[in-house]
Amino acid sequence: MGSLFRERRKISDTSLELPAFGMGTAHLGELYGTVEEDVSQATFDAAWNAGVRYYDTAPWYGRGLAEHRLGGYLRTKPRGGFFVTTKVGRTLHRPRVPKTFDRGPWTGGLNFEVRFDYSYDGIMRSYEQALQRLALDTVDALVIHDLDSIFHDDETIERHSRNLSETGMKALGELKSSGDIQAIGMGINMKEQLADLAQKVDLDFALVAMPYTLIDQDSLHAGMKACLDRGVSVIVGAPFASGILATGSAGAAHYNYGAADQSIIEKVQKIEDVCAAHGVSLQAAALQFPMAHPAAASIIPGAAKPEELLANVAFIDDEIPSQFWAELKSKKLIVSDAPVPQGSDK
């Protein structure tokens, strides 16, 4: 097993050091398809046996299902032997009419209605609910989740942001100062948010989904630079850009949690051509690229089956020649001054 897999990186100036490679659990919340219980168990088994010790989850993933599955698995493991991050900002409740309740966008998941709440009481309730689903009495860090225009209109964002700054951050600060958690993060779906809201809140790390991937580095000189300047660590949450960098252009072509448009498909095809010329796996390039950024602390690709998890473990330390990264830059497929992994000279 290579060095990146075994490495731990410090989160900002906190006491938390996370493994550089972890596992996201959105797929086990049944994002793109249902996952049978035995497959979920086998996927966690594969992760644990491979040495994965950092797991990220959220109440939103499968409306509680991912947390239940993760907690059920980790319940039998020594608490000092793994790291867990989960998210706050949503609480889960019994639907008024369960029989007709729509669980979308999850293909399976659980029958719970979501309420957004970034206030002191909302953060605390979200945290307590998560502990119960996880069957744990501690998590290592909490992440403010989905405070962006994908889920809210401008007026609602302003209201939630005010609640967060006036009282919600107080809750997170209390949990951190008491030792309940070691770090405070924010989940970032959009580059505008990374450059704006995430820089206005006192954070230890940003969990970045789409704003910095092998496809898109628009955030390099804005949000990512701001994180670096402020000493805010970055956890890379969607290195496969929600799908297309895992399946390739000929696969399902999910991008930004929807269908990829033609321009994205064509860009991936050009990256694939460079991969073919250098004998490089697209998936390995996608996993390794964002981790070269000096703010990056950990990467948490998801998996819905054991084979996917084991492939990710292998890809993270695949050898990639330096000429590959140079050609991507020369063809303007990645930004010219983007940090890239130290490649071999084969």
Residues annotated as catalytic (active site), given as ranges: 56, 61, 87
Neighbours of 36 (CB within 10 A): 10
Q: What is the maximal distance between C-alpha atoms in the chain? A: 62
What per-residue string of b and e applies to 203-221 under the rule 16 or more CB within 10 Å gives b?
bbbbbbbbbbbbbbbebbe
Q: How many helices (H) and strands (E) does the chain have?
A: 14, 14
Nearest to residue 185, comparing CAs of 54, 11, 57, 10? 11
What's the number of CA atoms in the CB half-sphere (13 Å) around residue 238? 21
Tokens of 171: 């809750």
The H or E element that residue 48 is part of is helix 37-50
